[in-house]
A and B are shown apart, each in its own frame.
Chain A
């Protein structure tokens, strides 16, 4: 249980194009979804948190107009990198959570990640 998928797994694009990454929770309804970015040999950097039907909350320093997040349903969130530039090349990972257990702790389950390369 608690499976999260991401599509595509790898994308290569030219500078200036927009790229959309999908994140789906396959066997549960996610109250919250998160988007992370990871640089080589570094830990995960949270970009934004989104709840279904609400605007995403972005972390400090993350450009809202560059990284558009839509959380259309309890099982789907999308991240669109607009006018992608080489410095946007990175590994993007989503996670999804739901309130579980007596203590109601939100365990985050992660997708497999998307490798974005901007030429």
Chain B
């Protein structure tokens, strides 16, 4: 069974204090790994897609990396506006490649 596990469940940072969020996955035939940001009461906002081990993508203060077993979302010098829940999801052969299997998310709070 495909599984996605995110850690930590919650993370509190001071503004400017860099850190990483982890997404571990066990899937049969990974097609893509996705990172989303979700603000309270809103739908998830697409951030990145990663396809293969070794791939990296960056957007502003965020950098996503992928290995064969996990992905990291690095947040450099975060600002209060980066506070949100960050969701990791995978598409895999076992679910017909269309469906997303989500982790439970990491709630990030950045204090000024």
In whole angstroms, what is the CA distance A106 to B46 when docked?
12
Interface string of A52-92 (1 = CB under 8 A from B): 00000000000000000000000000000000000000010
Residues of A within 8 A of B42 (CB): 112-113
Q: How distant is B101 from chain A, measured CB to nearest CB, in Å?
A: 9
Interface string of B14-44 (1 = CB under 8 A from A): 0000000000000000011010100001111
Interface range for B: 20 to 34
**A107 within 8 Å of B (CB atoms):** yes
Residues of A within 8 A of B49 (CB): 105, 107
Q: Is the interface of B mostly helix, strand, loop or mixed?
A: loop
Q: At the interface with chain A, which of B66-74, B76-84, B92-100?
A: B92-100
Q: Which of A2, A44, A105 contacts B44 (CB 8 A)?
A: A44
Q: Is the interface of A mostly helix, strand, loop or mixed?
A: strand
- Say yes or no: A110-B45 contact (C-beta < 8 A), given A43-B104, A105-B51: yes
- Say yes or no: A105-B91 contact (C-beta < 8 A), given A93-B43, A110-B44, A113-B41: yes
Q: How distant is A78 from chain B, measured CB to nearest CB, in Å?
A: 17
Residues of B within 8 A of A7 (CB): none
**Pair B46/A109 contact, Cβ less than 8 Å:** yes
**B87 within 8 Å of A (CB atoms):** yes
Q: Which of A32, A43, A105 contacts B103 (CB 8 A)?
A: A43
Q: Which of A100-119 contact B (CB under 8 A)?
A: 103, 105-113, 115
Interface residues of B (CB under 8 A from A): 31-32, 34, 36, 41-46, 49, 51, 87, 91, 97-100, 102-105
Other 5 A-B pairs with CB < 8 A, given A93-B44, A97-B98, A113-B43: A43-B104, A44-B100, A49-B98, A107-B34, A110-B36
